[in-house]
C-alpha cells in the first residue's frame, strides 16, 4: 500500500489485513469445517485483547512513567501464569505456590542477566515485554512438565516403589522420571530454536523488520529473545519439577498418592 | 535366629483412616524360614507387606523390627535389610546388569554373575535387555537385584501370581533355598498348594485382623473353617 509510513499500517491497513481472516473463513465454509465462528471469534478476541494491552502499555513504556507500574504489571503476569498453571495441572500437589515460585525464579534469573549485563536498559519499555516473553513462553512447558510428573508418579508407581524398596532415596528413585519429564518439556523448545530462520521467521524479528528496523539489528534482538526463551523455559521447568518431585514424597521416602490431598 | 529378629506389630491399623484395611493388628512374625501370609482377597496381606518395607505407614499402632520402631530406622537402611519383591516384576530400562546396578551401583562383574547364578539364571543374561526376559526370569532377576543389598528379610508379594506353572516352581525353589540360607522370607500367597509346599509358619488374615497363626499342622486342626480353607487343609 502506498502512502503508509514505515511501521504504521494504519486503521485501513489493519482492516484490509482482515481479508486474510475472510480467506480462512471462506476455506472453512468451502470444506465444511464448521470453524467459521471459532475463526471470527479468535480474530476478534486477538484484536480486542491486543488493543487493550497496547492501550495499557502506554502507561508503562513512557520513560517518564515510574518503574513501579512495570513491576506491578510483571507481578500480575506472574500471578496470572501461576493461576493458569494451577488450573491446567490441577491435581499436582502445591501447584499454585510452586508455579508462583518457578515463574518468579525464572523472571529474576533471566531479567537479572538481561538487565544486569546491560543487554537491555532497565525501563518500562523493556521490562514489561521481556517479562511477558519469560512468562508466556514458559507457561506451556511448565504445565507440560507438571502433568508429565504427575502421570509418571501415577502410571510408573510400580517402578518408583521398586526403586524405593531397594533402598534408594526418593530423589534417586524419581530421577529417571524427572529427567524424562524435563526432556519432554525442553526438547520442543530446542527444536524450534534450531529451526529458526530456516523453517520460520520468528515474530519479534518480523515485527521489527516490518516496523522499519535494519534486519541485522532485528536479528540481534531476535537472537537475544530466543536465548531468553530457552533460559526461561529451562529455569521455570527445573524449579517447578524439583518442587513437585519433593511434594510427591513423604519425608520417610514414600511415594504419596498424588490424586489425594497431600496435607 | 535371634529373638529380636522378628517383626512385632501392636495395634496396627492401616489404609484409609475412615475405612482401614488393617484394624488393630497384634502380631509377631517369625523372621526365619518361610512365613506365608494367607487369607481371602482384601484381608490386608499386601497392605501388611508394604508396611514392613515402609512403603506405607500405619495410621495407628507401632511396628518394631529388631527391637526398634520402624520409624526410628532410616527408611533406606531399613529397606536394604528388609527387601521386597512384587507380584508383577518391575523391570527397569536397560540390561540385566543395569537392573542390578540400580540396587548396587558399584556391583562388580563377578558379584553380578554370582548373584544371577544364585537365583538360577545363566550368567550370559547379564548383557541382555531386561525387557526381553520371560516372566519367571524377570522375577528371579528381581530377587537377584534385591539380594545385592544383602537383606535379612525378603518380603514377597504374590511373586508367582503372574507366572506359569514351570516358572512358579523355579521361583518357589528359590524362595525355599533363600530361607534355608538364612534369609527370612515372608511370602503372600493365594495358592493353597503353594502354601502347603512352602510354609514353615502361616499367618491367616481375614477382615484386617489376624485369624490364626502357627505351623501348618496346627492350622489344619483348627475349628475355624475359614482358617482350614485358607491353608487348604485336607
CATH of the domain at B84: 3.40.50.300
Top pLDDT among B3 and B7 is at B7
Residues A237 and A200 in one domain: yes
* C-alpha grid cell, residue B85: 519383591
- Same domain for A226 and A111? yes
pLDDT at A189: 87
The CA distance from A115 to A201, in Å, is: 26
In a domain, A117, yes or no: yes
- Range B210-230 average pLDDT: 94
Same domain assignment for residues A81 and A39: no
* Domain region containing A166: 65-247
Q: Which of A82-91, A124-133, A137-146, B83-92 has the lowest mean pLDDT?
A: A124-133
Chain A contacts to B (CB-CB under 8 A): 158-159, 161-169, 176, 250, 252-255
User: Can you read off the three cell numbers belonging to residue B190?
Assistant: 493365594
CB B160 within 8 Å of CB B167: yes
* Of A51-55, B102-106, B184-188, B222-226, minimum mean pLDDT range: A51-55
Phi/psi of residue A137, nearest 5 degrees: -80, -20
Whether residues A129 and A214 share a domain: the answer is yes
Q: Of B86, B92, B149, which has the smallest distance from its Cβ to A167's Cβ?
A: B149
Structure confidence at residue B1 (pLDDT):
42
Give the cell for residue B93. Answer: 530400562
Domain assignment present for A258: no
- What percent of chain A lies above the pLDDT cut of 70? 95
Angle, CA A206 vertex, CA A204 and CA A212 arms, to 5°:
105
The angle, 0 to 180 degrees and rounded to 10, between the axes of the packed helices A124-155 and A170-195 is 130
Calpha distance A72→B225 (Å, rounded): 74
Report yes or no on B129 lying in a domain: yes
What's chain A's average pLDDT? 89
Please give the Cα distance from A159 to A171 (Å, whole number).
14
Of B57, B90, B93, the CB nearest to A158: B90
C-alpha A219/C-alpha A245 separation (Å) is 38
Query: Is A138 within the bounds of a domain?
Result: yes
Co-location of A175 and A218 in the same domain: yes
Domains in chain A, number? 2
pLDDT on residue A260: 41
B1, part of any domain: no
Q: What is the rounded CA–CA span in Å between residue A11 and residue A189?
A: 35
| Option in A159, A169, A255 nearest B92 (CB) | A159
In-domain check, residue B2: no
Q: Are B61 and B99 in contact (CB under 8 A)?
A: no
**Residue A182 and residue A232 share a domain:** yes
In a domain, A260, yes or no: no
Domain membership flag for residue A30? yes
The residue of chain A with its CA nearest to that of B99 is A163
Query: Are residues A50 and A118 located together in one domain of the fold?
Result: no
Place of cell 508379594: B157
In percent, the amount of chain A with pLDDT more than 90 equals 65
CATH number of the structural domain spanning residue A109: 1.20.1640
Q: Mind listing the pLDDT tens digit for each residue in B38-75?
A: 999 989 999 999 999 999 999 999 999 999 999 999 99
A55 domain-assigned: yes
Whether A201 and A239 share a structural domain: yes
Domain containing residue B130: 7-230
- Which cell goes with A230? 530457552
The count of other CB atoms within 10 Å of the CB of residue A170 is 22
Average pLDDT rounded to a whole number, residues A186-205? 83
Return the number of other C-beta atoms located less than 10 Å from residue B190's C-beta.
15
The secondary structure of residue B6, as a DSSP letter, is S
Looking at the structure of chain B, the number of domains it has is: 1
Mean pLDDT, to the nearest integer, of B183-199? Answer: 95
| Minimal-distance CA residue of chain A relative to B91 | A159
Q: Which residues pair with B210 in a beta bridge?
A: B205
Helix (H, G, I), strand (E, B) or coil at B26: strand
**Residues of B contacting chain A (CB within 8 angstroms):** 53-57, 71, 75-77, 79-80, 83-84, 86, 88, 90, 92-93, 102-103, 142, 145-146, 149
A91 and A210, same domain (yes or no): yes
pTM of this prediction?
Answer: 0.85
- Chain B's closest residue to A171, CA to CA, is B76
Instruction: Answer yes or no: do A38 and A135 share one domain.
Output: no
Question: Does A19 share its domain with A74?
Answer: no
Q: What is the pLDDT of residues B26-42, one digit of tens each?
A: 999 987 899 999 999 98
ipTM: 0.93
Q: Flag whether B55 is in a domain.
A: yes
Question: Does residue A254 form part of some domain?
Answer: no
Q: Which three cell numbers, joined as nine digits, stand for A18?
A: 482482515
Confidence of residue A4 (pLDDT cuts 50, 70, 90): very low
For residue A179, being part of any structural domain is answered with: yes
Q: Are residues A94 and A188 in the same domain?
A: yes
* C-alpha span between A39 and A54 (Å, rounded): 22
Amino acid at each position: 500500500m502506498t502512502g503508509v509510513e514505515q511501521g504504521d499500517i494504519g486503521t485501513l491497513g489493519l482492516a484490509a489485513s482482515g481479508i486474510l481472516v475472510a480467506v480462512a473463513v471462506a476455506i472453512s465454509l468451502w470444506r465444511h469445517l464448521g470453524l467459521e465462528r471459532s475463526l471470527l471469534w479468535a480474530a476478534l478476541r486477538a484484536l480486542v485483547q491486543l488493543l487493550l494491552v497496547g492501550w495499557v502499555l502506554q502507561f508503562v513504556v513512557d520513560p517518564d512513567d515510574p518503574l513501579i507500574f512495570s513491576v506491578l504489571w510483571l507481578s500480575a503476569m506472574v500471578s496470572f501464569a501461576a493461576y493458569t498453571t494451577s488450573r491446567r495441572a490441577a491435581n499436582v500437589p502445591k501447584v499454585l505456590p510452586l508455579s508462583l515460585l518457578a515463574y518468579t525464579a525464572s523472571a529474576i534469573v533471566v531479567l537479572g542477566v538481561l538487565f544486569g549485563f546491560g543487554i537491555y536498559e532497565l525501563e518500562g519499555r523493556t521490562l514489561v515485554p521481556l517479562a511477558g516473553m519469560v512468562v508466556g513462553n514458559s507457561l506451556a512447558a511448565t504445565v507440560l512438565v507438571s502433568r508429565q510428573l504427575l502421570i509418571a508418579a501415577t502410571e510408573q508407581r510400580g517402578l518408583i516403589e521398586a526403586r524405593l524398596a531397594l533402598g534408594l532415596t526418593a530423589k534417586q528413585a524419581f530421577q529417571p522420571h524427572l529427567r524424562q519429564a524435563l526432556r519432554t518439556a525442553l526438547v520442543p523448545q530446542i527444536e524450534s530454536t534450531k529451526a529458526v530462520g530456516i523453517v520460520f521467521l520468528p515474530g519479534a524479528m518480523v515485527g521489527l523488520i516490518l516496523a522499519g528496523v535494519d534486519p541485522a539489528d532485528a536479528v540481534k534482538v531476535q537472537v537475544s529473545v530466543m536465548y531468553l526463551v530457552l533460559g526461561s523455559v529451562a529455569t521455570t521447568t527445573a524449579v517447578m519439577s524439583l518442587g513437585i518431585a519433593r511434594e510427591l514424597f513423604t519425608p520417610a521416602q514414600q511415594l504419596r498418592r498424588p490424586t489425594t490431598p497431600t496435607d | 535366629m535371634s529373638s529380636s529378629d522378628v517383626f512385632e506389630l501392636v495395634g496396627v491399623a492401616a489404609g484409609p483412616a475412615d475405612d482401614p484395611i488393617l484394624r488393630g493388628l497384634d502380631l509377631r512374625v517369625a523372621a526365619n524360614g518361610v512365613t506365608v501370609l494367607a487369607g481371602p482377597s482384601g484381608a490386608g496381606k499386601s497392605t501388611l507387606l508394604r508396611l514392613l518395607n515402609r512403603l506405607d505407614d500405619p495410621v495407628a499402632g507401632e511396628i518394631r523390627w529388631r527391637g526398634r520402631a520402624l520409624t526410628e530406622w532410616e527408611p533406606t537402611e531399613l529397606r536394604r535389610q528388609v527387601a521386597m519383591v512384587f507380584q508383577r516384576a518391575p523391570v527397569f530400562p536397560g540390561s540385566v546388569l543395569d537392573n542390578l546396578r540400580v540396587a548396587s551401583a558399584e556391583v562388580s562383574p563377578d558379584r553380578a554373575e554370582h548373584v544371577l547364578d544364585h537365583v538360577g539364571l545363566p550368567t550370559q543374561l547379564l548383557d541382555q535387555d531386561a525387557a526381553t526376559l520371560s516372566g519367571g526370569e524377570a522375577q528371579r532377576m528381581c530377587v537377584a537385584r534385591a539380594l545385592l543389598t544383602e537383606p535379612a528379610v525378603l518380603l514377597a508379594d504374590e511373586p508367582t501370581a503372574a507366572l506359569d506353572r514351570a516358572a512358579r516352581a523355579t521361583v518357589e525353589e528359590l524362595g525355599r533355598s533363600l530361607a534355608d540360607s538364612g534369609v527370612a522370607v515372608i511370602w503372600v500367597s493365594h495358592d493353597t498348594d503353594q502354601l502347603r509346599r512352602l510354609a514353615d509358619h502361616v499367618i491367616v488374615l481375614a477382615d484386617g485382623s489376624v485369624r490364626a497363626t502357627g505351623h501348618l499342622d496346627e492350622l489344619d486342626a483348627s475349628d475355624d473353617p475359614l482358617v482350614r480353607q485358607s491353608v487348604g487343609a485336607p
